[in-house]
Amino acid sequence: MDYKSIKKFTMKILNSLKTLTTGNKKLPQTASGLALATHPQSGTDAASHIEIGAGSNAHSSVGSAAKPARMETRGLTVMYGKATGVHNISIPIHTRKVTALIGPSGCGKTTFLRALNRMHDLTRIARVTGEVLLDGKNIYDSDINPVLIRRRIGMVFQKPTPFPTMSIFDNVVAGLKLVGIRNRSILNEACEKALRQAALFDEVKDRLGDAAVSLSGGQQQRLSIARALAVEPEVLLMDEPTSSLDPQATNRIEELIHSLKKEVTIVIITHNMQQAARVSDYTAFFYMGKLVEMGKTKSLFTNPRQKKTEEYITGRFG
């Protein structure tokens, strides 16, 4: 097979995966955009802020009508037994933009992020209510397969998570093999593409058969990102992806995020306010399980609407 037919074949498989995920070929691509289009001011800075208070958490006029939110949460609540992880969060997550989640430790950032690709399904004590829409379809609907959802909405964790017994190559293509792709040239092609996207290819191209654990921490994190990208997700969730990395490796990941958003919608949790300001287009500030406000990053950092936000971003707590 030549490159073109391989690419066509891979796209066919991935598209059929996407169809399987939603069980419906003709999902309205702009379902969540319809609401945005009815807001005459959407797209302006003034309209791009969401705040708590007076029930305004419920409105979703962030962004422009031309680019509907790829994802959106509506009244999303996660309980751990009787304890609240996050409460009543309604925010849009914009297509091919980076959304940063910030807030002090324990405020619910990870809890929220894990709800976006049904990771809580794997935690017995956790209970999710409300909606998480992907192109207008609630991913918690009973006809949705959570395994396939996690392929469309990939996740990168705080610490690198290479499969320790596998080679670099096998780590990258693990997700593709899982769906039955065995053709060596397709796997080679996908591996190279994902490693290039993760800015790791040049460093490992001559040692793809080496154990993944032989890589440095920063390389292992980029490998984890490559593995997540190999299945061509539409959304990538990153939970403090640089917290265990040195400044140089951190820098590489930040550059990577910047280039990835041309193709992928990204949600990133960060403890580092400078990082949020550097990499994100939108920022949501969480405090004690609630959304305090969300807005365009620049506007949230320079002109926070809520006193709590101002206190947090100026380092008075957290």
Ligand X SMILES: Nc1ncnc2c1ncn2[C@@H]1O[C@H](COP(=O)(O)OP(=O)(O)O)[C@@H](O)[C@H]1O
- Per CB under 6 A, residues contacting ligand X are 80, 83, 85, 103, 105-111, 123, 125
Nearest CB to ligand X, comparing residues 26 and 124: 124
Asked if 110 is part of the footprint of Mg ion (rule: CB under 5 A), the reply reads: yes
Integer angstrom CA distances of residue 40 from 14, 35, 46, 57, 73? 37, 10, 12, 19, 22
DSSP state letter for 24: -
Q: Are the C-beta atoms of residues 154 and 161 closer than 8 Å to each other?
A: no
Would you put residue 102 in left (φ > 0), alpha (ψ -120 to 50) or beta? Answer: beta
Q: For tokens 């400078």, name the residue.
A: 274
Please choose which of ligand X, Mg ion, none residue 122 contacts, taking the beta carbon within 5 to 8 angstroms, the exact cut-off set by kind: none
Nearest CB to ligand X, comparing residues 105 and 142: 105
Nearest CB to ligand X, comparing residues 85 and 92: 85
- Number of residues this chain uses to bind Mg ion (CB under 5 A): 1
Please choose which of Mg ion, ligand X, none residue 125 contacts, taking the beta carbon within 5 to 8 angstroms, the exact cut-off set by kind: ligand X
Nearest CB to Mg ion, comparing residues 48 and 110: 110
Would you put residue 307 in left (φ > 0), alpha (ψ -120 to 50) or beta? Answer: alpha
One character per residue 20-39, x = contact with Mg ion (rule: CB under 5 A): --------------------
Task: State the nearest-atom distance from the C-beta of 8 to Mg ion, in Å.
Answer: 40
Burial 93-120 (b: 16+ CB within 10 A, else e): bbbbbbbbbbbeeebbbbbbbbbbbbbb
DSSP state letter for 314: T
Task: State the nearest-atom distance from the C-beta of 66 to ligand X, in Å.
Answer: 32
Task: State the nearest-atom distance from the C-beta of 86 to ligand X, in Å.
Answer: 7
Q: Which stretch binds Mg ion (CB under 5 A): 27-35, 43-51, 107-115, 214-222?
A: 107-115
First to last CA, the chain: 55
List of residues contacting Mg ion (CB under 5 A)? 110
